[in-house]
Structure 1
Amino acid sequence: MQKETETQDRIWLIGGTGESAKLATALLQIGLPLVISVTTESARSLYPISPLLQVWVERFNLSQINQFLTEQNIIAVLDASHPYAVEISQNAIAACSQKDIPYLRFERARCGDGEMGRWGDGEVGGRLIYLDSFNQLVAGEYLVGERVLFTVGYKVLPLFKDWHERSTLFARVLPATTSIEAALAAGFTQDKLFAMRPPIPINLERELWRHWQISMVVTKASGAPGGENIKRQLAAELGVTLVIIEPPIMNYPQVTSDLEEAIAFCQQHLGNQNV
């Protein structure tokens, strides 16, 4: 881990999502110094260039987090990581507890029972199915005979390798060598892959579903920033079954979805010294 000689107190913003980029911009506008951690080089481009901002690309374990908190003079942690990136959140919570450092989880707003509502109670044959895990989807009979589009990233695709014989599977992945190679290794042929970085315009999403004659879409409960609202809208419009995999249950010590509350948390713990 690289050393940092700067001794200024900072906020650690655990990033990598669109929400973290908005938070970073808002916090920099009021002069708060930040260290942002991401797991890929491409995620650097989410954030503005500022003398108050340092971006780290690293996958931290618990020991590294403890070292990082000390070396970077972290006095508060704002966790805006992806809702499925539970390991970094668990380790950050543990480290903050050990060092008595304030922690706040920033959760993206969920697509709830609003205008589109829940179509039924999650039974197979309805248009909306909520499941607790990908393993539940693999073990069940939900996919039998369906033309299924996976919009869940590449890491879980190997779970469905044996399902190619019982259904027709397609996947949308990031336009990266790692993603495409993993999808191919999981049995998704080139004609059943679409590589594009979100957000996906609704018209393109609609045409992709129609072109592949999709009958079922599998997605994560990612909220509006992750395109869940668009998928819900199209599923209702096209009569497609939408399978939503719920995020792992996490017991965060403190959670908010309010931008102003997150900013106030950071201001409070930096003592408004730079405002």
Structure 2
Amino acid sequence: MKRIWLIGGTEESATLARAIAALQFPCVVSVTTESATSLYPIAPSIQVWVGKLDPNELPRFIKKYNIGVVLDASHPFAVEISKNVIRVTQDADAVNPHPVAYLRFERPTLTTDETGVWSIESFEKLLETDWLRGQRVLLTIGYRFLSLFKPWQDKAMLFTRILPSQVAVEAAIEAGFSSDRIIALRPPISYELERSLWRQWQISTVITKASGSPGGEDVKRNVAKELGVKLIVVERPAIAYPQVTNSVTEAIAFLSRIINDRSARIQE
């Protein structure tokens, strides 16, 4: 039987993995950190693979694990893995002798229509504006984008909240954040804690990514409204997914069709 490749690391991917395990479909889940493995069920049909895949390694990975269908539930801003997997699954030569189906599981977006919430296309576009100048700014954007804000350390008072990992802390320090302007916490962040942190640092502007409710965007929106803080939401990168859903039921139905159809062909 062909395997499912679930590209994971998110809350939704854990939900999908449990549904896949319940059906006993063979599945390999890929995550980038060892700590993420705890999200997934211990089941005979589920194998968790830890590491970062080079684009050139993807065809080999697909063949090694006998992948028949990819369910991409990676983070909305993890665009490189999504782009590379779409490219490989659409390249018949790369995945011969059997085609590989692809489905993107995309968490719903939140609308930006309330007062005090500003939406912008990218970090680069944001830094072309003067929105941050003279402000006390909290960045809740992960560590990978912090280097973009290094030139702004002398134009605004910048704070950052990152994951409690060595690589994240080192990236924050390299971007010019002193230890008193870094807080390392693992989500989820409660409404009460979010509000307290903003008050403690007297934050006037918060920058976050359009990561939806699982990423705590809804909590930030509510706290911003209560405290009168400007919330800047950086939009998700635009990707032309071949197929996309935000429904667990639809995703599992898609997987079932692919797996059962290919199993039937083998039996014939």
TM-score range, shorter chain: over 0.9
The match for 2:114 is 118
The match for 2:88 is 95
1:62 shift after superposition: 2.7
The match for 1:57 is 50
Matched, 1:162 2:151: yes
CA deviations on 1:49-102 (whole Å, 9 max, x unpaired) are: 111111111221232111111111111110000111111111111111113311
> Which AA in structure 2 matches 1:101?
V
1:118 shift after superposition: 3.0
Matches within 5 A, 1:95-244: 95-98=88-91, 99=95, 100-112=99-111, 117-119=113-115, 127-244=116-233
The match for 2:253 is 264
Sequence identity, in percent? 50
State how far apart, in whole Å, the 1-side matches of 2:20 and 2:110 are.
Answer: 26
Give the SS at the match of 2:189.
coil
CA deviations on 1:194-231 (whole Å, 9 max, x unpaired) are: 11001101100000000101000000000000000000
Give the SS at the match of 2:90.
helix
Task: Determine which of 14, 21, 24 is the counterpart of 1:31.
Answer: 24
> Which AA in structure 2 matches 1:102?
A
1:164 shift after superposition: 1.5
Give 5+ residue unaligned stretches, structure 2: none
> Which AA in structure 1 matches 2:114?
R
State how far apart, in whole Å, the 2-side matches of 1:256 and 1:187 are.
Answer: 39
1:146 shift after superposition: 0.6
Task: Give the root-mean-square deviation of aligned CA atoms.
Answer: 1.4
Does 8-17 or 214-223 show the bigger shift?
8-17
Matches within 5 A, 1:56-95: 56-95=49-88
State how far apart, in whole Å, the 2-side matches of 1:212 and 1:58 are.
Answer: 36
State how far apart, in whole Å, the 2-side matches of 1:59 and 1:261 are.
Answer: 28
1:112 shift after superposition: 2.3
CA deviations on 1:94-133 (whole Å, 9 max, x unpaired) are: 11111331100000111126xxx432xxxxxxx1111111
Displaced runs of 4+ in structure 1, greater than 2 A?
none
Does the CA-based 8 Å contact 1:14-1:36 persist in structure 2?
yes
> Which AA in structure 1 matches 2:127?
V
State how far apart, in whole Å, the 2-side matches of 1:69 and 1:164 are.
Answer: 44
> Which AA in structure 1 matches 2:180?
D
Give the SS at the match of 2:5.
strand
Matched, 1:41 2:37: no
State how far apart, in whole Å, the 2-side matches of 1:207 and 1:35 are.
Answer: 40
State how far apart, in whole Å, the 2-side matches of 1:68 and 1:176 are.
Answer: 27
1:165 shift after superposition: 1.1
Give the SS at the match of 1:154.
coil
Give the SS at the match of 2:118.
strand
> Which AA in structure 2 matches 1:108?
R
TM-score, structure 1 as length reference: 0.90
Give the SS at the match of 2:237.
coil
> Which AA in structure 1 matches 2:250?
E
State how far apart, in whole Å, the 2-side matches of 1:75 and 1:141 are.
Answer: 49
Give the SS at the match of 2:198.
helix
The match for 1:17 is 10
> Which AA in structure 1 matches 2:111?
G
CA deviations on 1:138-167 (whole Å, 9 max, x unpaired) are: 221110111000000111111111212111
Does the CA-based 8 Å contact 1:17-1:80 persist in structure 2?
yes
1:249 shift after superposition: 0.6
TM-score, structure 2 as length reference: 0.93
Does the CA-based 8 Å contact 1:148-1:217 persist in structure 2?
yes
Give 5+ residue unaligned stretches, structure 1: 1-7, 120-126
